[in-house]
A and B are shown apart, each in its own frame.
Chain A
Amino acid sequence: MRNIIHHLRDAPISAWIGIVIVVFYAVLAIGAPVFAPFPESASVGAQYQPWAAPHYLGTDALGRDVMSRLIYGARNTVGIALVTTALAFTLGASFGLLAATVGGWFDPIASRVVDVLMAIPPLIFALLILTITGTSIIALILVIAVLDSTRVFRLSRAVAQGILTMDYIEVARMRGEGLFWLVRKEVLPNAAAPLIAEFGLRFCFVFLFISALSFLGLGIQPPTADWGGMVRESAKLIGFANFATWQTATFGLAPLLPAGAIALLTIGVNLIVDWVLHMSSGLKD
């Protein structure tokens, strides 16, 4: 714990910006019902209201409050992306560590399967599978988690193989430690930094991926508030933007608000990832 505080004090300004962004989103997502002035999917006013109290960011085509939907969107989009990333990580890291430590016939087979899965563009693969399974949230999470775990598999296998050549592993093996002990006490602690950074990168990827699918109308389905879907719903409004007054100009911002919310969070996570990678690479400048 003191170690973390120590690192935080030395964190560069970019990392701090990232941390502030991520904390802001986390607070909004967790406390969505407290912060949102209106319910998630109820019609609470006339449609297409301009930006004025009580609808500070206007209302959408069904008269739902845009600000409330943005706040609930943080909970839905980020929540699903987190679950998916965690699943992809569990899957990819355990298979990757297994392939590196057990080796034998398991390693080449798993590696070839991953090679083939990675040869197909993930978006195309996901669309193929979603045609068959239909677009439910469970299907979405499973499909993306499996597709994404291939990249985690590659990284964790490579990192673990690097660690397994170390002398201290040899010593532990000669002491007669079991496989599980080796992974838990020697490999995992040493692989932590690159894996944490990878978790951030994978989260960004999954988050953008789910948003893209929702934008295409194939991801999280309405009336659940979700940023990708909100961009899709409000896309037509951009044509009605008029820069004569700021009230009419805000129509142009309708699809940009949820899209910007996605972009900002991704930037925040990337800034933190850069910092973690920089720390773990041991560069001090």
Chain B
Amino acid sequence: MNPILLIVLKRLMIGLLTLWIVTVIIFAAVELLPGDIATEKLGQAATPESLAAFREKFDLNRPMVERYLSWLGGAVTGDFGISMANQRPISELIGVRTANTFFLAGYAAALAVPIAVVSGMLAALYNRSVFDRVLSNSTLAAISFPEFFIAYILILIFSVWLGWFPSLANVDVDTGLGERLYKTFLPAMTLNLIVLAYMMRMTRAAILNLLALPYIEMAHLKGIKRWRVIAVHALPNALAPIISVIALNLAYLIVGVVLVEVVFVYPGLGQVLVDAVSNRDVTVVQAACLIFAATYILLNLLADVLSIIANPRLLHPR
């Protein structure tokens, strides 16, 4: 069997195992709640009848393992049960909003990835130039600034002062793609700025490490043009680290989106999660956490698998 396939399969198994353990944690965390969910939600004054009805409604009478299995089975098919706060099906509450969140994260990624890779390469090419130094300092700012700081600076400049973009990203199902892209530009830009500097820096570091290797020096000595050395000789070997940096940052975007959604009042899954946490709407929190955690784990898994596949040394085993 091809050794690379074996490594990928092994990594996939570990990833799926992690995902399974995480579902157990998300489910069990709520079960370990001190006291009883029914009493907690209905208050001390609830009558025994209403408590019994609540337990019946949310299926709390069956043993924990049985409930876990039916919850997991439902979650896989997109059925997360009903909300404890307003008794509506959760899939109805979060369906569109999950799509909105992925749209925003995808939008930000579409802005950030090309800019990051190209300017990271430029920074490596013009190492120690002014451009390189600006990049280095902007990374410091990006890891130091809270998400909402960047968001409010953008709002103040582009929305309040210049009036170019709306400060509220109120999209709904009927919003067309063009208008949607326009309304979500500032939130996408905020997310973009958060991950951009870091991605650029990692791209730069990956290429700089390679440029120090003997075979690159050989290529230079042969008289090959500088950009060709980077594009043809260095880039294929730098792909693995760059791909994994991109995937890791996309995983980060999925989480960073929670805060940005709240700032721009964007109807996404992050808003649902934050509201559900303050209402202690346990079933909705479980569903939203599961979606976020699963996306995060799968993107990390993807990063690992892609960087294994993109490693030229593994592709050509001796």
Q: Which residues of chain A have a CB within 8 Å of any CB of chain B?
A: 115-116, 119-125, 127-132, 134, 204, 208, 211-212, 215-218, 228, 231, 235, 238-239, 241, 243, 252-253, 255-256, 259-260, 262-263, 266-267, 270-271
For A263, what are the chain B residues with a Cβ–Cβ distance below 8 Å? 141, 144-146, 149
- A131-B277, A216-B258, A263-B146 provided; 10 other pairs, C-beta below 8 A? A120-B25, A122-B255, A124-B255, A124-B293, A127-B273, A128-B26, A132-B32, A217-B274, A256-B156, A267-B140
Residue-wise, chain B 117-155 has the 8 Å CB interface mask toward A (1 for contact) of 000000000000000000000001101111111001101
Q: How far is the CA of A128 from the CA of B30 in the complex (A)?
A: 8
Q: A121-B254, A263-B146 are in contact. Are A218 and B274 (CB under 8 A)?
A: yes
Is the beta-carbon distance between A239 and B146 smaller than 8 angstroms?
no
A121 neighbours in B (Cβ, 8 Å): 251, 254-255, 292-293, 296
Give which listed residue, B29, B141, B263, contacts A132 with CB less than 8 A.
B29
Expressed in whole angstroms, the Cα–Cα distance for A100 and B222 within the complex equals 48
- Taking the closest CB of chain A, its distance from the CB of B162, in whole angstroms, is 10
Can you list the 6 inter-chain pairs with the closest CB atoms, starting with the nearest? A259-B149, A266-B144, A121-B255, A267-B144, A263-B145, A124-B292
A24–B167 CA distance with the chains assembled, in angstroms = 34
Check if A218 sits within 8 Å of B152, measured CB to CB: no
**Could you tell me the distance between the alpha carbons of A208 and B143 in the complex, rounded to whole angstroms?**
10
**Chain B residues whose CB sits within 8 angstroms of the CB of A212 once the complex forms:** 146-148, 259
Using CB atoms, name the residue of chain B closest to A124.
B292
Docked pose: A208 CA to B142 CA in angstroms: 12
Q: Is B87 an interface position by the 8 A CB rule? A: no
B6 CB–A CB distance under 8 Å: no
- CB–CB B153/A235 < 8 A: no
* Distance, CA A239 to CA B147, complexed state (A): 18
Determine whether the beta carbon of B149 is less than 8 Å from that of A260: yes
CB pair A217–B26 under 8 Å, yes or no, is: no
**A123 (CB) vs chain B CBs: closest residue:** B255
In-complex Cβ contact of A128 among B155, B160, B289 (8 A): B289
Q: Is the interface of A mostly helix, strand, loop or mixed?
A: helix
Task: Point out the residues of chain A lying under 8 angstroms from B216, CB to CB.
Answer: none
Does B296 contact A120, Cβ atoms closer than 8 Å? yes
Given contacts A127-B285, A129-B29, contact A119 B300 (CB under 8 A): yes
Q: A123-B258, A235-B263, A239-B160 are in contact. Are A215 and B148 (CB under 8 A)?
A: yes
Q: Which residue of B lies closest to A243 (CB)?
A: B161
- Chain B residues with CB under 8 Å of A115's CB are 18
**Does any Cβ of A come within 8 Å of B276's Cβ?**
yes
Taking residues whose C-beta sits less than 8 angstroms from the other chain, chain B's interface range is 35 or more
Q: Establish whether residues A116 and B25, one from each chain, have CB atoms under 8 Å apart when the complex forms.
A: yes
In the bound complex, do residue B255 and residue A266 qualify as a contact, i.e. CB atoms below 8 Å apart? Answer: no
CB neighbours (8 Å) of A252 from chain B are 156, 160-161
Partner of A270, one of B26, B140, B153: B140
Chain A: which residue is nearest B156 at the CB level?
A: A252
Docked-complex contact A127 and B156, CB < 8 angstroms: no
Q: Please, how many angstroms separate the alpha-carbon atoms of A213 and B140 in the complex?
A: 22
A-B contact pairs, 12 of them (CB 8 A): A116-B22, A121-B292, A124-B255, A124-B273, A124-B293, A204-B144, A215-B259, A235-B263, A238-B155, A241-B160, A263-B144, A266-B146
Q: How far is the CB of A90 from chain B (nearest CB, A)?
A: 24
B145 touches A131 (CB 8 A): no
CB proximity to A under 8 Å, residues B149-190: 149, 152-153, 155-156, 160-161, 167
B21 near A238 with CB under 8 A, answer no
CA–CA, A267 and B254, complex, Å: 24
What's the minimum C-beta distance from B293 to chain A, rounded to whole angstroms? 5
Instruction: Check: B282 CB closer than 8 A to any chain A CB.
Output: yes
Instruction: Please give, as numbers and ranges, the residues of chain A lying within 8 Å of B278 by CB-CB distance.
Output: 217-218
Shortest C-beta distance, B253 to chain A (Å), equals 11
Q: Which residues of A contact B147 (CB under 8 A)?
A: 212
In the complex, chain A residues whose CB is within 8 Å of the CB of B144: 204, 263, 266-267, 270
A127 B153 Cβ-Cβ under 8 A: no
Inter-chain CA distance A259–B278, complex, in Å, is 22
B282, chain A: closest CB distance, angstroms: 6
- Is B76 part of the binding interface, using a Cβ–Cβ cutoff of 8 Å? no
